[in-house]
Amino acid sequence: MTAASITAPLSTLRPDVDRITGRRRLRRNRRTDWSRRLVRENTLTVDDLIWPIFVIDGENRREPIAAMPGIERVSADLAAEEAKRGADLGIPAVALFPNVEMALRDQTGSEILNPDNVMCRATQAIKEATPEIGVITDAALDPFTDHGHDGILRDGIIVNDESVAQIAKAAVLQAKAGADIIAPSDMMDGRVGAIREALDAAGHSDIAIMSYTAKYASAFYGPYREAIGTDATLKGDKLTYYVDPANSDDALREAETDVAEGADMLMVKPGLPYLDIVRQVKDTFALPTFVYQVSGEYSMIEAAAANGWIDGERAMMESLLAFKRAGADGILTYFAPRVAEKLNAA
C-alpha cells in the first residue's frame, strides 16, 4: 500500500464501502449504557467467586501479609467469621491455605496427617458457623514440609508415589473435617485417582475433586509463598513437577489424565498469563473449569493502583471478566469480598 492510498477515502479503495458501512456500524450497539448491557457477551456475578483464605494457629489472631496489601492470615475462629461474611455477600465457597508453625514442619510433611491440624480446625470452624458455604481444601504438602516442596523429598528428589499415598490420606482427613471439595495442587502423577479411591473407600463418595490440572512453574507465586511461609524454606525449584510455561499440549495431557482419574472440576493456575489454556481446557473437556488469579497478579494490580499508575477498581473487574471471556466457570481471587460488595451494590 502506498502513502497516497493510506490517506485516500475508503470509498476509492473499496467501491462498496458506503453501502456496507451504511448497513453495519458496530458502534451503534455501544452507543448507550443500556444497549451495551443488552448485547454484553459475558457477565461477572458473585456466583463466579471463590475466596482464598490463609489460616494460622491460635485464637483471635490476624497477621498482615506484606507482599499482599489488604490480605491477612487469620486464626480458625476468625476464618469462620470471614467465611460468614463471604456467605452473607453471596460468595459460594472459600478455599483454605495454611501457614503451619515451623516447628511442625518436617521432611515428609507429617503434620498434614494430624486430624487436629490448622487446616482441619479451620474447616470445622467454618462448617459449624456457616454450613451453607462451600469449603475447598488443598492436600498438597508444601505448607507442611521443611523444604517447601509439594511432595516428600528423598535424596534431592520429590518421590511421586509415596507423596501420592500421603496426599490421599490427607484428603480423607480433610473430608472428615468437613471439606466439600478437595483441590490437590501438588501436581504429582496419579494423585486424582488415588484421592478418589481413598475418599470412596472412606465413605466420602460425594466429596468432589477440583484438580489443579494445569499448574504452571510460574514466577507469579512469590507473594503466596510469603503468605504460607515457604518463601524461606523452599529448596530449589518445582520445575520437575509443575507444567513448563512454554507448553500448552502438556497441560491438556494433564487434564486428560485427571478427567480419566475422576476429577469433577479442572483448574488452571495462574490466570491472566494463561487465558489460552483456560479456553483450551474448557473447549476440550467441557467440565466445570476454574482459574486461580494468583498472588502475583493480585499484588501487581494493588501496587500499580497504589502508585496511581492504573485505576485499581477497573483493573480488578476487567481482569476477572477476562477469565469469564476465556471460558472460566469460576475464579479463585483474593479480590472476592471487594468484588462481591461492588457487584451487590450495582
User: What is the residue type of 183?
Assistant: A
Grid coordinates representing 120 are: 482441619
Nearest 5°: phi and psi at 292?
Answer: -110, 110
How many whole angstroms separate alpha carbon 141 and alpha carbon 127?
A: 23
- For residue 129, which of 171, 64, 173, 178 has the smallest C-alpha distance? 178
Dihedral sign computed on CA atoms, order 113, 71, 123, 49 = negative
How many whole angstroms separate alpha carbon 9 and alpha carbon 340?
A: 48
CB 244 within 8 A of CB 292: no
How many whole angstroms separate alpha carbon 87 and alpha carbon 134?
A: 9
Catalytic residue numbers read 215, 269
